[in-house]
Copies of this chain bind each other. A is one copy, B any other.
C-alpha cells in the first residue's frame, strides 16, 4: 500500500508533459493536485496520473480543453461522450477534406511550375483560386449549365485537371503575348484555332451556341436573368480574371471575329 507522491517536476518527467502545462491545467481547474499546506507546493498522486492520461487522451482526439473539462467529472464515460466523439469525428473528417483539397492544389501547382519555366503570377493565382472552390463552382454551375457539359468542365482525375490547366496557362500566355495584334495575324489565328479545339473537346457547337444565348441575356425572362447575373457575379468573386481589362476586351473582339464565320457556316448547314 505504498502511497507514492510526486513533486511537479517528477510528475512532469514521468508523464512527459511540461511543468507549465501542469500549472496551466491547475489554473484552469482541469487538474488540481493536493497542496503542501505550508509551502504551497503541488503534490501529485497516482490518481492524478490517471486523470492526466484521460486529459491527454481526449486532447489527442482533438478535443478542446473546455470540452475536456466538461467530461472530467464522472467516473465512467456517459452517453454524451459518444456524442462528443461523433462530433469530433465529423470535424476531423472535414479538416482532412480541406487538407486533401489543399494538397492536390499544391501538387498541381508544383507540377505547373516545374513544367513551365516562367509562370505569370496572375495566371497562377487565378488557377489556384479556381482550385480552392472547384466544388462550389460546380454547385453553382448546376443551375445554369447542362449536366453533360458540367461533367466535362469539371474533370475528376488530377491528371486530366493538370492537362486542362497546362492548356489554360499556355493560352493566357499567348493572349498576353499577342494582345493588340489584328485578328488576321497568323499567330493569333493559330491561338484561336487551338482554343477552339480545346473548347470543342468539352462541348459541341450547338451547346456552345446555347451557352452564348444564355449569357447574352436577351430573352425577357427577368427571373432567369437575375439568376444568371448572380451566378456570374459569384464566379467573378470566386475566381479573379488573370488578364487585364484591355486584354479581355481584345480577346472578346478576336473571338467574335473568329466565331462569326463559324456561326454562319453552321447556320447555313442547318
Contact = CB atoms under 8 A, between A and B. Distances in A.
Identical chains in the assembly: 2
Given A85-B110, A118-B76, A105 B53 contact: no
A132 B58 CA distance: 10
A107 interface: yes
Contact of A113 (B16, B81, B122, B129): B81
A38 interface: no
Given A99-B92, A100-B96, A106-B61, A122 B50 contact: yes
Interface in A228-251: 237, 240
Contact of A132 (B50, B60, B102): B60
A129 B16 CA distance: 13
Contacts of A129: 53, 56-57
A206 interface: no
Interface in A124-145: 124-126, 128-129, 132
A127 to B, nearest CB: 9
Given A50-B240, A60-B105, 5 more contacts: A56-B129, A61-B128, A82-B114, A95-B99, A96-B96
